[in-house]
Amino acid sequence: MTNSPPSAIDRSSAVSLAMEAVTASRDCLVLGAPGTGKTEFVLDLVSQLESGGLEPTDVLVLTPQRSQASNLRDRLALGSNQVSTGPRARSLTSLAFEILKGQIPDVRLLSGPAQQQLISELVIEAEKESKARNWGIDPQAFALSGFHAELRDLFTVLVENHVSAEDLSEFQTKWPSGAWQVAIDLFPKYLERLKDTNQVDAAQLIVQATRHVNKFPKPKIIVVEDAQDLSLTGLWLVSKLQSGGALVIVGDPDVATLGFRSAAGMFVDFFRKNQAGGLEITLDPLLCQPAAVQQLMARIVQRIPTSLALNHRPKTQEAKAEAEFAVFDNRISEADFLAGQLRAARVRDSLNWSDMAVIARTRVQLDQLAGDLASRSIPVRILGSQSPLREQPAARAVLDFGQLVFQGSDHQLVLELLGSRLVGLNAIQQRRLFRQLAQEERFQNQTRSRLLEGLFEEPVELDTPEVRSLNRAIDLVVRLRNLGQLSAYEFVSLVWGLAPIKRLQELAAGTSEVALAANRDLDSIVELFAVAVRFDQQIGSGAREFVQEIMLAPVAQDSLATVASRQAVVLATPSQLAGRQFELVALPRLQEGIWPNLKPRNSMLAAAGLQTYLLGRTDNPLGPTRAE
């Protein structure tokens, strides 16, 4: 392989070169900046490979994220005239699970929320056994989800790099200021708990699948999109799977949304070291964006370390074009300006609402922006996983109903249900209901708490609109208690049948804050149905266990459930944008020191620093590490 940087070429020429290379069983590395058409390159290459005589099953397209794989599957199918008997594109985790499932049929993948819950339980157990006193960490942090997330990241680093608790003890002795005693105590128990339940977490899945990859049928061509987001273990899995065929790796070493545990440019070094004789292709960095945007990107990218790849980067041009921006001293004026710009683009430029995107750093900011824009009659939709299902009102109502059925009445729980989407009584209707119930003999001379606790035992013998709504819920509670084993999907279907779905659909059709809330409710229920289906397929222990698990889940479920498809401005964080394009992109809430966020990750347990040390990029795992 030549050491001179390859010249940048257009996408059609790049596809032709890649076709020649893979036909000769030669590997390819394709580099391109955002907007140069890397996804289109993958689509065109697969289309030409199929036109050249390959079957869809001969070409495996891999992506780091499930959402990307889902999007690519649809686009590949639309561009092909052949019928595929398997998925045309899949995430690396999905492939690894199939490989491992072939060798260990009853293995189960530990979900993110379940992993977080397991770590929380291990911390609580260690506190009870007084082991936490030796961790050198403030006890107030033990119950925080951020602390559990740091432990989760540290465990991932240990698994991916085959570091045992004994190895970590040696590191602790060498660097006494490291706060790794918590992992030394909990990591063996964590692995033991997973082994006892025949589960693997996401990191173990990739590592164990790599050991069994030789027993998996090898595709003729492997195409990897957004390779910058693959971990080193992921790259090794792809490399071993490629044995005997051709490998095409596509990515941008300057950009990473999932690669905080390693440098984004790792895949370039990996390719050059392990794929001897491979062809390097650089997509033309002349982008389709306006000159001002290209100039801005070129100025930003000059500050990013090179990873030995330069030609794919946008170039500064002689003609100076300044990007426009606006500065505000409060949130209201910023929201007014943003809504005005979006509305002007809709009217003046005839852009669809879904051609526009608003990008913010955190989920909290997205929620704020959604409310601000909805109050200004801008239809919005937050992309991707929402907050945990137990924190979303409509889904929480279904889960609360399950607690009422399976665990018994509680006056606060019943009060919440009366005002939920399922029963739907507002404050005035609830007052009417309580006055009507006071006339019933079985509720006379009872306190409000006692009345609520006994409310769902049997139907109320009154005929008023409020009582009719209540009796529908009571009838379902009695019915569910008398049923035998019930699947999670059946349970969600029966309970959500209480909700006024037509009314919700009418409300969701608008653009106000009420419409935004209705859309959120509908999206959360669709997500709950998807999680229920997956629970039945993977665990299948019934509705009672489903309700219990989701109520304990501290983080959002990973779901591909289709949310509202109406025309709306997309609100998203940067990590959700891989493979997506928009005509107009807004970046509000930019503030020095907050976003861009330069605060180091894993500052307490130094997982990122340990990863950098294990990769040989630093001599001290506790020292400062370049992460972004």
What secondary structure does DSSP assign to 181-198, as a single string? HHHHHHHHHHHHHHHHTT
Burial 60-85 (b: 16+ CB within 10 A, else e): bbbbbbbbbbbbbbebbeeebeeeee
Give which of 300, 308, 312 is closest to 263, Cα–Cα. Answer: 308
Please tell me the distance from the alpha carbon of residue 359 to that of residue 617, in angstroms, as a whole number.
32
Q: Give residue 384's pLDDT.
A: 65
3-state class (DSSP) for residue 371: helix
Please tell me the distance from the alpha carbon of residue 582 to that of residue 320, in angstroms, as a whole number.
24
3-state class (DSSP) for residue 369: helix
Give backbone dihedrals phi and psi of 250, rounded to 5 degrees, phi first: -120, 130
Question: Residue 426: is it exposed, middle or buried by C-beta count within 10 angstroms (0-12/13-18/19+)?
Answer: exposed
Q: Give residue 1's pLDDT.
A: 43
Please tell me the distance from the alpha carbon of residue 468 to that of residue 455, in angstroms, as a whole number.
13
Q: Give residue 558's pLDDT.
A: 57
Q: Which tokens is 340 given?
A: 């005005």
Low-confidence residues in the chain, pLDDT < 50 = 1-3
Angle at CA 95, nearest 5°, toward 94 and 96?
90
E-assigned strand segments in 154-228: 199-200, 221-224
Q: Which tokens is 344 given?
A: 């002007």
Q: Give residue 333's pLDDT.
A: 94
Angle at CA 405, nearest 5°, toward 564 and 418?
60
Please tell me the distance from the alpha carbon of residue 546 to that of residue 531, in angstroms, as a whole number.
9
Give which of 197, 187, 192, 196 is closest to 152, Cα–Cα. Answer: 187
Please tell me the distance from the alpha carbon of residue 417 to that of residue 413, in angstroms, as a whole number.
6
Q: Give residue 483's pLDDT.
A: 84
Please tell me the distance from the alpha carbon of residue 12 to that of residue 289, in angstroms, as a whole number.
19
Burial 261-272 (b: 16+ CB within 10 A, else e): bbbbbbbbebbb
Angle at CA 158, nearest 5°, toward 93 and 574?
50
- pLDDT tens digit string along 463-497? 888 889 889 999 998 898 888 788 999 999 999 98
Please tell me the distance from the alpha carbon of residue 387 to that of residue 389, in angstroms, as a whole number.
6
Cis peptide before 290 (omega within 30 of 0): no
Please tell me the distance from the alpha carbon of residue 455 to that of residue 464, in angstroms, as a whole number.
16
The CA distances from residue 576 to 68, 153, 383, 610, in Å, are 9, 20, 7, 27
- pLDDT tens digit string along 307-366? 667 788 887 766 566 777 889 989 999 999 999 999 999 999 999 999 999 999 888 888
**Packing angle, helices 11-23 and 38-51, rounded to 10:** 50
Q: Which residues pair with 437 in a beta bridge?
A: none
Check: CB of residue 32 under 8 Å from CB of residue 282: yes
Q: Which residues pair with 200 in a beta bridge?
A: 109
Check: CB of residue 247 under 8 Å from CB of residue 62: no
Check: CB of residue 577 under 8 Å from CB of residue 359: yes
Question: Residue 584: is it exposed, middle or buried by C-beta count within 10 angstroms (0-12/13-18/19+)?
Answer: middle
Please tell me the distance from the alpha carbon of residue 392 to that of residue 523, in angstroms, as a whole number.
10
All residues at 6 or more sequence positions from 151 whose CB lies less than 8 Å from its CB, including other chains: 119, 123, 182, 183, 186, 605
All residues at 6 or more sequence positions from 444 whose CB lies less than 8 Å from its CB, including other chains: 438
Q: Which tokens is 532 given?
A: 């229920």
Question: Residue 344: is it exposed, middle or buried by C-beta count within 10 angstroms (0-12/13-18/19+)?
Answer: exposed
- pLDDT tens digit string along 12-63? 999 999 999 998 889 999 998 888 889 999 999 999 999 888 998 899 999 9
